[in-house]
A and B are shown apart, each in its own frame.
Chain A
């Protein structure tokens, strides 16, 4: 045996949403288990909050997702280094410092990294950042800020727009360049996206669509000076933030036989093609309830749920993962939007179908305030809710969509912001085999249908 090998029962690579939730579940059900976490970050913080930090609305302590003494409190052994390789035959993870750590069961929670566009000079110019990590990205941007007056954000997705709004808050001139015909193309349909483009414009952040960057101006190893578009047009800037989505971190798995596609394939128990290796979070390509095929919804709530369910299965408590769906909730300049499901999707990096729907329900009490619901064969396949009132009780639409309930009899009411659980209870009772949670069973029994 390799004298350097450290033996352990459970090894988790990655200490963000999925990894941390898994560690908590492992400890909750197995007080004596040896748990080792490998992470290149020492604090457990919330990545979705980084834009709040960038804007100066939250300080570093307010980003913490778990207290600083989390690892001691949960008796977790930590290896603050990078995992660089995996030997699935010997059940060992190779670490950057040359040592290895052995596992009985392994959880891959390696997450994802910002997708940088293939633009000349993007890796050589200073002042070009993603917005994913606290030290490498958020803090690096903050220390670059004194040098910056004009920023260009590449990408009109959630991270891109949150970064743009944050930089505006810091007093920079910000322009957003979007390849697609409209912003938020993975989240909103075109007319909804236009509303937000106008909101950004009104708040002094112009969004240029169909703007394909081809080169970053400036000298190698010095600061960026501008972004050049395919049209030849140049946007002068001294800071670039890339927010064009993320790709799963698979470097660790390069020489392994693990079945992978865009991410690591996992079954309905979040187990990979090798029986003692599980995966959760942005790296795991798992069931998508609406698509009916394996997909990655790189979202915080999905990672948390997957981390917990993977841990339960690692413990031998067989737990089926129902599947994830695309869903998000965000506020831009005070206007909240919740969108979920397929109908508004353009094909993602995996290709695949774009959303299909055969009916759209719409309720617009005022300009820029609405509920829009997309149906296919009388079931909800997606929705977009914009404004303070329309977002209320959004979870009711989400659960009807998740459980594939036929909503033919309640279409008008679905549009009502006043829609409540009581109204839906008879429908839920009719579909009770889909609503297996204890609380739903109790409610159905209570109303005695």
Chain B
């Protein structure tokens, strides 16, 4: 199963992925229309500063974009009292029709990746983009101007991490 990773050396904390994610989860999938329709919800992934000091040299970068890790076994699935949160082929999926907003999953997620907004909102791996390929498969990956976001297996992401980046700002297209 494909998962999403973020290279902190490339992430410039522009938050393009957050907007793209929020827009993807609207009916129109257009930023302008979504704002006018008032159905722009929270993003399901967040750009997060690394540690207290954004310029800590001990760390490989400044920020990274994080969402659901689709872990297995998933504590949110164990905690869900309605079985709304469940696994499908390795993906952790929330059936919003079943969610009653008890927030047991919010309490259980060790990554802080579930947002309580009437229903439990989290990364759903862009189900409406299943037909798309390459970077267009996921809204966040497509939107990332520095190619910090990576979709694939961790073993492949490791080789990305192993490649040096001399000047982070040069990766901006």
Q: Chain A: residues with CB nearer than 8 A to chain B?
A: 21, 46, 48-49, 52, 57-58, 62, 64-66, 300-301, 304-305, 308, 327-331, 336, 338, 340, 388, 391-396, 398-399, 402, 410, 413, 419-423, 425-427, 437-440, 442, 445-449
- Give Cα A49 to B48, complex, Å: 35
Per a CB cutoff under 8 Å, which of B104, B110, B111 touches A301?
B104
For A327, the chain B residues whose CB sits under 8 A away are 107-108
- Please state if B102 and A330 are interface contacts (CB–CB under 8 Å): yes
**Docked complex Cα distance between A64 and B83 (Å):** 8
The answer to whether B161 touches A445 (Cβ under 8 A) is yes
In whole angstroms, how far apart are the Cα atoms of A419 and B79 in the complex?
Answer: 22
Q: In the complex, are the beta carbons of B107 and A338 less than 8 A apart?
A: yes
| CB of B62 to closest CB in A, whole Å | 10
Note all chain A residues with C-beta closer than 8 A to B82.
46, 49, 62, 65
With contacts A49-B82, A308-B73, A447-B61 taken as known, whether A329 is within 8 angstroms of B48 at the C-beta atoms is no
* Interface contact B100-A391, CB-CB below 8 Å: no
**Residue from the set A65, A419, A438, A447 with the largest chain B CB neighbour count within 10 Å:** A447
Q: What would be 13 A-B contacts, judged by CB atoms less than 8 Å apart? A: A49-B82, A57-B100, A305-B73, A327-B107, A331-B103, A338-B103, A393-B112, A395-B106, A396-B111, A421-B113, A422-B49, A423-B49, A426-B56
Contacts A391-B116, A395-B112, A447-B64 given; indicate if A48 touches B48 (C-beta within 8 A): no
Collect the chain A residues with CB atoms within 8 Å of residue B48's CB: 420-423
Measured CA separation A304–B69 after assembly (Å):
20
Interface majority SS (helix, strand, loop, mixed), chain A:
helix
C-alpha spacing A50/B100, complex, angstroms: 12
Residues of B within 8 A of A426 (CB): 50-51, 56, 58-59
Measured CA separation A62–B83 after assembly (Å): 10
With a cutoff of 8 Å between Cβ atoms, the chain B residues found around residue A64 in the complex are 83
A44 — nearest CB in chain B belongs to which residue?
Answer: B83
Which of B5-13, B22-30, B123-131, B137-145 makes up part of the contact surface? B5-13
Among residues of B, the one whose C-beta sits closest to the C-beta of A420 is: B48
Query: Which B residues lie within 8 Å of A49 (CB)?
Result: 81-82, 100
A399→B112 CA distance, assembly (Å): 10
Q: B63 on the interface (CB 8 Å rule)? A: yes
CB-CB nearest in chain A for B11? A422
Q: Is B93 an interface residue (CB 8 A)?
A: no
- Whether A395 lies near B66 (C-beta < 8 A) is no
CB-CB nearest in chain A for B66: A421
Residues of A near B50 (CB, < 8 A) are 422-423, 425-426, 447
- CB distance A422 to B66 under 8 Å? yes
A446 and B157 CA atoms in complex are apart in Å by 9
Minimum distance in angstroms from B100 CB to a CB of chain A: 6
Which chain A positions have C-beta within 8 A of B88?
none
Counting from the closest, the 3 A-B pairs by CB-CB distance are A422-B48, A393-B112, A448-B60
Interface residues in chain B, defined as those with a beta carbon under 8 Å from any beta carbon in chain A: 5-8, 46-52, 56, 58-61, 63-64, 66, 69, 71, 73, 75, 78-79, 81-83, 98, 100-104, 106-116, 154, 157-158, 161
Which residues on B sit within 8 Å (CB–CB) of A421?
Answer: 48, 66, 111-113
CA distance A57 to B100 in the complex (A): 10
Cross-chain pair count, CB within 8 angstroms:
150
Question: Does B64 contact A329, Cβ atoms closer than 8 Å?
Answer: no
Distance in angstroms from B4 CB to nearest chain A CB is 11
Give A421 to B71 CA distance when docked, in angstroms. 15
Query: Chain A residues with Cβ under 8 A from B107's Cβ?
Result: 327-329, 338, 340, 391, 394-395, 398
Q: Complex Cα distance A180/B167, Å?
A: 63
Closest residue of chain B to A412 (Cβ to Cβ) is: B52
* Bound-complex Cα distance A395 to B105 (A): 8
Task: Assess the A449–B112 pair: CB atoms within 8 A.
Answer: no
State whether A329 touches B110 (Cβ < 8 A).
no
Q: Residue of A at shortest CB range from B78?
A: A304
Residue of A395, A410, A447 touching B75 (CB-CB under 8 A):
A395
Smallest CB–CB gap between A372 and chain B, Å? Answer: 15
B residues near A305, Cβ cutoff 8 Å = 73, 75, 78
Name the CB-closest residue of A to B9. A448
Bound CA span A86–B112, Å: 44
Q: Is the CB of A58 within 8 A of B100?
A: yes
Give A274 Cβ to nearest chain B Cβ, in Å.
27
**A48 lies within 8 A of B81 (CB):** yes
Q: Please state if A446 and B6 are interface contacts (CB–CB under 8 Å).
A: yes
Contacts of A336 in B (CB 8 A): 103, 116
